[in-house]
């Protein structure tokens, strides 16, 4: 019987010969929100890209399984089909590809023959309404000329259309104003409240705790220098907001010396 969850075990990852992740153990359960916080350069995005299969990140050892299926041996598209979704910090533009075609292709890639065109159109407009997005979005080219907030809204729309098993949100709050951040929160929470999204597990990667006010975390992890050095409840994010990362960094250094 397979173990459910997005489970990372003793994961070590290098970039251009330099070890960045130094043995990561992390389990994201279905239906739960985990937050991964840490200062810039601590390795948070490296974890996201290694999970997704970015070729620039060399996995030296360890494993990542999704509901019992080993991901590291799969190409990126197979990882997505297995149920993994990654929201990028800096989404790329795709001139010439309309949002409508992009969404349809993405849904069909992970759920072939799942919805006929009429049902798919109904789903898209339901999600647009939930996220308070203008239907004119559908005729635009993917991220071409989009503001930062529009790019993140489109990623959240894509996530709600695909409804993955596990979603990794890599600094989705980066550069967002208050309105865009609230839109991200609404999209995540609307997905979690839907029938198809209630069992999705989330890993929210962030530098600042502000997104957690809109997407409350069940568990908070702190990463320092490629290691998860502290795990706690939602109050840990409040501690970081109040005191910064220096205290946690000092605790980790003292533990390493002991």
Domains of the chain: 6-257 (3.40.50.300)
Specify the residue for token string 């937050």: 35
Q: What pLDDT, on the 0 to 100 scale, is given for residue 142?
A: 94
Whole-number Cα distances in Å, 129 to 103, 124, 158, 180, 250: 16, 9, 14, 15, 47
What pLDDT sits at residue 55?
93
Q: How does pLDDT run along the chain (258 residues), one tens digit per residue?
A: 458 999 999 999 999 999 999 999 999 999 999 999 999 899 999 999 999 999 999 999 999 999 999 999 999 999 999 999 998 878 889 999 999 999 999 888 887 766 788 888 998 998 888 777 889 999 999 999 988 888 888 888 899 898 899 999 998 877 777 877 887 888 888 888 887 778 999 999 998 888 898 889 999 999 999 999 999 999 999 999 888 898 888 888 877 777
Count of alpha carbons within 13 Å of 107, Cβ hemisphere only? 22
Is residue 18 left, alpha or beta, with left meaning phi > 0 and alpha meaning psi from -120 to 50?
A: beta
| Burial (CB count within 10 angstroms: exposed 0-12, middle 13-18, buried 19+), residue 97 | middle
Closest CA to 127 of 136, 135, 116, 118: 135
In angstroms, the Cα distances linking 20 to 46, 60, 72, 209 are 7, 10, 17, 23
Look at residue 2 in the predicted model and tell me its pLDDT.
Answer: 58
Number of CB atoms found within 10 A of residue 142's CB: 21
Pairing of strands 166-170, 227-232: unpaired
Distances (CA, A) of 231 to 237, 251, 253: 10, 13, 16
């Amino acid at each position: 019987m397979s173990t459910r969850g997005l489970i990372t075990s003793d994961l070590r990852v290098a970039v251009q010969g330099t070890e960045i992740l130094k043995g990561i153990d992390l389990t994201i359960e279905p239906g739960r929100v985990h937050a991964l916080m840490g200062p810039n350069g601590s390795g948070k995005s490296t974890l996201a890209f290694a999970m997704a299969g970015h070729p620039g990140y060399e996995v030296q050892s360890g494993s990542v399984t999704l509901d019992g299926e080993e991901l590291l041996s799969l190409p990126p598209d197979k990882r997505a089909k297995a149920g993994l979704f990654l929201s990028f910090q800096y989404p790329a533009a795709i001139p010439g590809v309309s949002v409508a075609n992009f969404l349809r292709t993405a849904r069909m890639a992970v759920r072939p023959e799942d919805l006929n065109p009429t049902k798919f159109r109904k789903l898209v407009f339901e999600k647009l309404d939930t996220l308070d997005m203008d239907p004119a979005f559908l005729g635009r080219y993917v991220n071409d000329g989009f503001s930062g907030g529009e790019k993140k809204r489109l990623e959240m729309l894509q996530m709600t259309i695909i409804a993955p098993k596990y979603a990794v949100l890599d600094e989705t709050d980066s550069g967002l104003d208050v309105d865009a951040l609230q839109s991200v929160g609404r999209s995540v929470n609307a997905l979690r409240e839907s029938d198809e999204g209630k069992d999705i597990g989330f890993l929210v990667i962030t530098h600042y705790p502000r997104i957690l006010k809109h997407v409350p975390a069940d568990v908070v992890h702190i990463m320092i220098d490629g290691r998860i050095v502290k795990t706690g409840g939602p109050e840990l994010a409040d501690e970081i907001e109040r005191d910064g990362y220096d205290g946690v960094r000092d605790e980790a250094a003292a533990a390493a010396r002991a």
